Structure 1
Amino acid sequence: RDATARVRAGSAPRQVAITTTPGFASLWLIPRLARFTGSHPQVDVRVSATLEVLDLERSRVDVAVRLMPVSRGKGPALFEESVVPLCSPALAKSLRKPADLANLTLLTVEYPDHSEAPTIDWEPWLKVMGLHDLRMKSTLRFTQYADAVGAAVAGQGVVIGRLPLLRELMREGRLVAPLGEGAASQRGYFVETSRRAAGNRDALEFAQWLREEAEAAQRA
């Protein structure tokens, strides 16, 4: 019986379940995830990318990366967010000053409850620039932020860039910020672990890996 118990324990699946926003998952986490799975080949990682704020215990999730107001952040902070208008290098030629936005297409996310204005994510930048109202020629709405970013890369309009999620696209020159630096959004990404994660060494190592990746990205 003891031998059978040891065999079963050794063959039990090692899993880490994480929940986060679709934008963080597709633009920041997934491009880096192979570094974790490469060093933890026996661990199955399950990513739930959703705008819904899941209850970690009820949903049996180990780790959450939440985008929250800095004043209400729970758990260790990965990084704070700043926002800035971004577009393709070709489109940047026609965007020299904020007034030029009136001639371009707004690329934005349509939230599930339709309660947010199309430019809600622009508000920190608009405030810094002293712009009380933003009018653009037309609007393209997407259900996922990554799709709006893809449209910006394709030169279809201007998206509000959430940094550092899009920093790599800027380093590659696929997106540029012709109107200058970003403005702090007063939000940040925070790592929260569930009670069940305390007994899951792989989950704790995953949370630590997230923090190390965030630190390395900010040094780069």
Structure 2
Amino acid sequence: MSATDAPPNPWFSWDYVARNWGDIERALTQHVSLTVQAVVLALVVALPLAGLAHLRPRLAGPVVGTAGVLYTVPSLALFALLAPYTGIGRTTVLIGLVLYALLVLVRNVLVGLAGVDPAVTDAARGMGYGRVRMLLQVELPQALPSIVAGVRVATVTTVALVTVGVVVGYGGLGQLMFRGFRSDYHAEIMTATVLCVLLALVADLLVVLVGRLLTPWRSARDRQAAAA
């Protein structure tokens, strides 16, 4: 077959989507579940770590430094280090994603806690709040805008990093990208790429909406500022 007789290899193909919807749906579901679980687990770990570092300022440097070191480890190397202990598959990818999200979340929680108005904490102290009670009932709620901002960054970053999980056989939409690169099938590469971008945009929007629901006082203040 001559080059002029070769079948077309377009970047966009609805025919590819229709014929491979089952594979696309499985990869997308895997990508979404990994992203949600990784961000939630990272937040569950980051909140107490940042809270402890806030209560004990001497620990802030080691906590942030350790998270920073983990963040700088290349993903391929990290998965290679984890694989002998956690196997090939979901667990290895999930642990890696949680470790990468920790730095962003811990740092944002600490920034939020440090930015709480001293007048608020002084008032709580005058009402008899202890240090831990003040952290849980006063400082963390006040730090929510910064925490939500950290979750937004961590979520979008995680959506992108999930694709690297293809090296251990569990990369969500990265599986389609890798298969497309191996076969030089442009439509498969582009479909997975577009879905990753859309997933990141939708996830970011959802986090923003949840943040507004959790901080109604901030929304009211913004509306008042806009009206003024």
Give the strand-richer structure, 1 or 2. 1
Bigger RCO of structures 1 and 2 (CA < 8 A, at least 6 apart):
1
After TM superposition, the score normalised by the length of structure 2 is: 0.30
Under a length normalisation based on structure 1, what TM-score does the superposition of the two structures give?
0.31
